[in-house]
Chains A and B, each alone.
Chain A
Amino acid sequence: MSDFAGMEDLLQDFLVEASDLLANVDNKLVELEQNPHDRGLLHDIFRGFHTIKGGAGFLNATELVTLCHLTENLFDKLRNGEMEVTPAIMDVILAATAAVREMFHHLEGGVQPPPADPGLIAQLKAALSGALTQEDKAPPTAAMQPPAQPAAPAPMPEASSPAQEPNWEALFAALHGAQGVSSSTAPQKAPHENAATPPMHTDVKGKPAEEIIQHALGRRAADKPGAMAAPLGRRADEKTRDNTIRVDTARLDQVLNLSGEIGLTKNRLSSLRSDIINGRIDTDTLHALDQTVSQLDLLVSDLQNAVMKTRMQPIGRLFQKYPRIARDLARSLGKDVELVLAGEETEIDKTMIEDLSDPIIHLIRNAVDHGVESPEERRVAGKPEKSVVRLEARQEGDHIVIIVADDGRGMNAEKLRAKALEKGLITDEEANTMDERQSLNLIFLPGFSTKEVASDVSGRGVGMDVVRTNIQKLNGSIDIRSTPGKGTSFIISLPLTLAILPVLLVQLGSQPFAVPLSMVREILPVRLEDVQEVGGRATMVVRGEVLPIYPIAHLLGWETERVPQYGVLMQTAEHSFILAIDGFLGREDAVIKSLEGFRPKGVAGVTTLSNGQIVLILDMKELLADLGERRGVPRLAFLPREKLAA
């Protein structure tokens, strides 16, 4: 648990801003050593501590408030000329700054900082009382005792309670007569004696103003800084935070190294640019330019990889909790199941690890519950009684593959189709045209469950569609392979990172759009005469396969200006289709930026092209969802307005 439950955001903001302030103070202190009488510097440093103190108060970081308060008071005296910067004072100030930084480290760990070194506090107080000499820089033990008569520090501002609240009314009355807070009391206009004489001397009731003010302030003699000191060293071990990540220093060094090399390459480019601007465009220069740009290309992609690697964690951290879950579950079902792990060292983006936890649990439960047979069934089938569920991860190219495989009864495509038909999830027509793979994928439909009696373990078929949705959110896909009698495998394929998405740039008129390359199977020419209307929807036959064809303009709700020239054959988990486009620009590695604050339907995000143009990345699934039940558009949708009219 953190000492800052409910205030984490505030704490983060404070640390970021206050650390900047402290760094600024540090720089100013260096300047101050050179110019010890610079009022501006002294004032800036004073304000730095003052501001940190104010923020720390809201975090209840009492010890930090105390330390900043003392340091600030010291600078108040320095800037008012009451004291001068001496080497001894400078030493104390530097020590105090270091102590403030130390306290920031505690705050970063989510714990209230322990009190500052009493020796330091004593030195600050001594400095404030003007008693600090070089001799005071004795070991802390000697300085433990505060000076007998420390200069009274101003009272600590504590959380306001009525008792110590400055009584504004009384004070105002004391200063302005009985008028109270009224806007007409513009002091510059009011011919008030206060303007000429110090306010303490007079007051309406004849009482010394000082006394009223003291009363108004609610000042208590006992108000002392640091009265609420936290126990020393409390929870010092709890320095973990969820938004931190531990990175191998070798990986960080690589990032550093690469950024250095990119800097060098950039210098080379700058110099080549000057050459070219000055008219040196001979073959050598252009060759050097070509080489340098190629090198930059390589370095940047290396850097992207290296940075990405800092976010990678071995998936074994996720896997290790599953054997226990599988065992307990199998036992409760009267089954003997062993969960075998493989590829635990495979690395995957940290955010994905978190989001994968639930889908994998569900797949394991599904395998243990539905996938593998009871020991009796297995005996009859001539299989070993003990069944094996394999959880495996490996990297394949730029993808991570996670497999949950059982050696159970396998899935029966025929049965699945019949079930889906019975539940009204698919039509007769659809059932008849489905191949093996499509049939297996039926279990991902919402509301599908093959068990007559749902067990309390895997639920009532509410899980598999959620599993797929979660995987798709990570830009991944899930596939099923099953052999009756031998077992079923669920294959999850995920991109290495969520940050970079390979896209195909397509054009509608002159407007480019990006579609995820992972969905693209091929690009083909589209001729209007090849587009046939089957059952009211436009289709095209590609190597014997009848595929629906959707003009991109129709999906986006744009007016068609011309007949699309090309088709992109795309594949989602459910079905394949052809996206009809006017042209395409090529592929690009898009860095996805979400649209801040809003998300138009069908738009996954935006990216910037190499020429600086901003392009929308289309969410094909959402766009297709709009087409509704029939998942088709009429052939007429291909014809531009003018042609229809003619």
Chain B
Amino acid sequence: MPQDPSKIRFLIVDDFSTMRRIVRNLLKELGFTNVDEAEDGAVAWQKLQAGGFNFVITDWNMPNMDGLTLLQTIRNDPRFNTLPVLMITAEAKKENIIAAAQAGASGYIVKPFTAATLNEKLTKIFEKLGW
């Protein structure tokens, strides 16, 4: 698996383009420059199937296909069993966290967050994956 930060290809999924830009900028700050975006789960799923992504960061609440459904769709496909998925949400509501954990999310991050927090989350996930 890639060691070079720029080799890790991220997919940011959020319906709010400002938010995609924020996440993209935070990733850039951390040296992750290989980033693509999708405006909802359905578009993200299309892009994922085309292949080439190593990491998904997705919002929860989105039209067409929400983040949780996207996560479930990903985990149901043998091709993406090991694809790390970081869930972003505005709430630290326990129901949300439980649902995310049950669906197999690799991590969970609450808005708003800083680059440092994001880095911490990513590092943890990378460690687990042995990257």
Seen from chain A, the residues whose Cβ lies within 8 Å of a Cβ on chain B are 10, 13-14, 17-18, 21, 44, 47, 50-51, 53-55, 57-58, 60, 154-155, 157, 159-160, 164-166, 168, 171-172, 175-176, 180-188, 194, 199, 213-214, 216-219
Cross-chain contact A213 with B94 (CB below 8 angstroms): yes
Q: Which of B73-128 contact A (CB under 8 A)?
A: 75-76, 81-83, 90-94, 97-98, 101-104, 106-114, 117, 124-125, 128
Distance, CA A171 to CA B108, complexed state (A): 11
Cross-chain contact A47 with B103 (CB below 8 angstroms): no
Q: Kindly provide the distance from the CB of A46 to the nearest chain B CB, expressed in whole angstroms.
A: 8
Mark contacts of B3-26 with chain A using CB atoms, 8 A cut-off: 1 yes-contact digit, 0 otherwise: 000000000000111110110000
The residue of chain A having its C-beta at the shortest distance from the C-beta of B114 within the complex is A159
Chain A residues contacting B31 (CB-CB under 8 Å) are: none
Main secondary structure of the interface of A (DSSP, over half): helix
Cross-chain contact A214 with B18 (CB below 8 angstroms): no
Cross-chain contact B101 with A176 (CB below 8 angstroms): yes
Q: Kindly provide the distance from the CB of A7 to the nearest chain B CB, expressed in whole angstroms.
A: 10
Cross-chain contact A54 with B102 (CB below 8 angstroms): no
In this assembly, does B33 line the interface, its C-beta being within 8 Å of a C-beta of chain A?
Answer: no
Cross-chain contact A172 with B101 (CB below 8 angstroms): yes
Distance, CA A490 to CA B13, complexed state (A): 58
Kindly identify which residue among B62, B92, B107, B114 contacts A157, using a CB–CB cutoff of 8 Å. B92
The residue of chain A having its C-beta at the shortest distance from the C-beta of B59 within the complex is A54
Cross-chain contact B97 with A217 (CB below 8 angstroms): yes
Chain B residues contacting A44 (CB-CB under 8 Å) are: 63
15 new A-B contacts at CB < 8 Å, known A166-B108, A176-B101, A184-B81 = A50-B61, A51-B15, A54-B19, A55-B18, A58-B19, A58-B22, A157-B111, A159-B117, A160-B110, A171-B98, A171-B101, A180-B128, A187-B75, A187-B102, A218-B92
Q: Kindly provide the distance from the CB of B77 to the nearest chain A CB, expressed in whole angstroms.
A: 10
Distance, CA A50 to CA B17, complexed state (A): 14
9 closest residue pairs by CB, A with B: A57-B112, A183-B82, A58-B112, A13-B18, A54-B90, A54-B111, A160-B117, A51-B16, A14-B18
Q: Kindly provide the distance from the CB of A522 to the nearest chain B CB, expressed in whole angstroms.
A: 52
Cross-chain contact B112 with A186 (CB below 8 angstroms): no
The residue of chain A having its C-beta at the shortest distance from the C-beta of B117 within the complex is A160
Cross-chain contact A183 with B108 (CB below 8 angstroms): no
Chain B residues contacting A58 (CB-CB under 8 Å) are: 19, 22, 111-112
Cross-chain contact A154 with B110 (CB below 8 angstroms): no
Seen from chain B, the residues whose Cβ lies within 8 Å of a Cβ on chain A are 15-19, 21-22, 59, 61-63, 72, 75-76, 81-83, 90-94, 97-98, 101-104, 106-114, 117, 124-125, 128
Chain B residues contacting A53 (CB-CB under 8 Å) are: 90
Kindly identify which residue among A50, A159, A181, A184 contacts B90, using a CB–CB cutoff of 8 Å. A50
Distance, CA A263 to CA B46, complexed state (A): 42
Cross-chain contact B111 with A17 (CB below 8 angstroms): no
Chain A residues contacting B106 (CB-CB under 8 Å) are: 181
- 6 A-B residue pairs with Cβ-Cβ distance under 8 Å, sorted by A, are A47-B15, A154-B91, A175-B98, A175-B102, A176-B101, A181-B128
A183-B81 contact, Cβ under 8 Å, with A47-B63, A159-B113, A168-B107: yes
Kindly identify which residue among B21, B22, B98 contacts A199, using a CB–CB cutoff of 8 Å. B98
Q: Kindly provide the distance from the CB of B123 to the nearest chain A CB, expressed in whole angstroms.
A: 13
The residue of chain B having its C-beta at the shortest distance from the C-beta of A184 within the complex is B81
Chain B residues contacting A10 (CB-CB under 8 Å) are: 18, 21-22
Cross-chain contact A187 with B112 (CB below 8 angstroms): no
Cross-chain contact B98 with A181 (CB below 8 angstroms): no
Q: Kindly provide the distance from the CB of A338 to the nearest chain B CB, expressed in whole angstroms.
A: 53
The residue of chain A having its C-beta at the shortest distance from the C-beta of B77 within the complex is A186
Chain A residues contacting B72 (CB-CB under 8 Å) are: 188
